């Protein structure tokens, strides 16, 4: 992987953009950039950090707790997801 991704977060009705390295995870980078993304375990178990990818792609270390249906609908656990496209939009309101 490697390279940079422009990330757009839809959170509490607002759109926010930041740029991150594709090797980082989306939750951590979002928090570092000052966005109040819901989270708890940070280990891919509690599903608090659930978001839905509406544009672009992400890869998850271990999609274990999400069903195939949820994965097909674009849901990701942002604490264990890395962006995998030049741009990605993640909606936290539509979950
Ligand atoms: S913070 Fe618990 S699954 Fe992501």
pTM for the predicted model, two decimal places: 0.94
Q: How confident is the model at residue 1 (pLDDT cuts 50, 70, 90)?
A: low
Dump pLDDT digits (tens) for 62-94.
887 999 999 999 999 999 999 999 999 999 998
More confident residue, 1 or 14: 14
DSSP the chain: --SEEEEEEEETTEEEEEEEETTS-HHHHHHHTT-----SSSSSSS-TTEEEEEES-EEES--TTS-HHHHHTTEEEGGGEEE-SSEEEEESS--
- Percent with pLDDT over 70 in the chain: 99
Q: Going by CA atoms, what residue is nearest to atom 1 of ligand 1?
A: 42
Range 4-91 classified under CATH 3.10.20.30? yes
**Domain range list for the chain:** 4-91
Burial of 8 per CB tally in 10 Å (0-12, 13-18, 19+): middle
- Percent with pLDDT over 90 in the chain: 92
Closest ligand 1 atom to 44 CA: 3
């Amino acid at each position: 992987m490697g390279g940079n991704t422009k990330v757009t977060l839809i959170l509490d009705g607002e759109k926010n953009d930041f740029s991150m390295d594709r090797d980082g995870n989306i939750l951590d980078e979002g928090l570092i950039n000052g966005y109040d993304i819901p989270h708890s375990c940070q280990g891919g178990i509690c599903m608090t950090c659930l978001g839905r990818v509406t544009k672009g792609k992400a890869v998850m270390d271990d999609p274990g707790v999400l069903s195939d249906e949820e994965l097909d609908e674009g849901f990701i656990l942002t604490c264990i997801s890395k962006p995998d496209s030049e741009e990605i939009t993640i909606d936290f309101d539509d979950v």
